[in-house]
A and B are shown apart, each in its own frame.
Chain A
Amino acid sequence: AQSVTQLGSHVSVSEGALVLLRCNYSSSVPPYLFWYVQYPNQGLQLLLKYTSAATLVKGINGFEAEFKKSETSFHLTKPSAHMSDAAEYFCAVSDHTDTDKLIFGTGTRLQVFP
């Protein structure tokens, strides 16, 4: 069965520092992988997705993620954090078989300090 694990339910960084949010997946077939962001009191919105093309995926707001099959990872990074990046970030996987539905991780709350 497919699943995702997000290491660290809370991550705190200073403004301007590197952001690294970790996601590891488990899937029996090459997966599709996603990062969604949820700002306070809002629904989720897509940051980026990997669908077996380039392993380094660039998303909105300066975020990117790299698919590493050998490590079964899809970590999210941003070189320089901004106050507006404070939100909850969800990694999700689909094995694009059966019904294709997404399985979401438990989320990582990012705090950015001035």
Chain B
Amino acid sequence: DAGVIQSPRHEVTEMGQEVTLRCKPISGHDYLFWYRQTMMRGLELLIYFNNNVPIDDSGMPEDRFSAKMPNASFSTLKIQPSEPRDSAVYFCASSKKGPTDTQYFGPGTRLTVL
């Protein structure tokens, strides 16, 4: 299995631009998670989906962030407009049975907003 795939691996953009991060979960996994990791705040859950339906989006910072899962094999996290404080590593993870089942993490996308 290829594992969780994220793209791009690195993204550098300017403040105000739209950023789209992409994730392909492991086939057969019904749950998909988006996390953000920063030095200041550590690892935070932004949102997670079950069978493509958002279950908990309480960690989404504000309206500038949106996440979609149009099908079982693809999800996006969009930031519009981006701000320097959004600079972080964004991880996607997937699991078969839920948050307390083993979560498999992708390699992450390092986002830098100038």
Report if A and B associate in a common complex: yes
- Interfacial chain B residues near A102, Cβ < 8 Å: 45, 99-100, 103
Known: A94-B99, A101-B48. A42 touches B43 (CB 8 A): no
Tell me the interface secondary structure of chain A in the complex. loop
| B45 x A101 contact (CB < 8 A) | yes
CB of B12, distance to nearest CB on chain A (Å)? 17
B55 at the interface (CB under 8 A from A): yes
Q: What is the number of residues of chain B that contact chain A, defined by CB distance less than 8 Å?
A: 20
- Residue from B56, B102, B104 within 8 A of A99 (CB atoms): B56
| A101 x B99 contact (CB < 8 A) | yes
A-binding residues in B (CB < 8 A): 4, 42-45, 48, 55-56, 91, 93, 98-100, 102-108
Q: What is the number of residues of chain A that contact chain B, defined by CB distance less than 8 Å?
A: 22
- Interfacial chain B residues near A46, Cβ < 8 Å: 102-103
| A106 x B42 contact (CB < 8 A) | yes
Name the residue among B43, B48, B103 with the largest chain A CB count within 10 angstroms: B43
CB of A83, distance to nearest CB on chain B (Å)? 22
Which residue of chain A has its CB nearest to the CB of B9?
A41
- Interfacial chain B residues near A101, Cβ < 8 Å: 45, 48, 56, 99
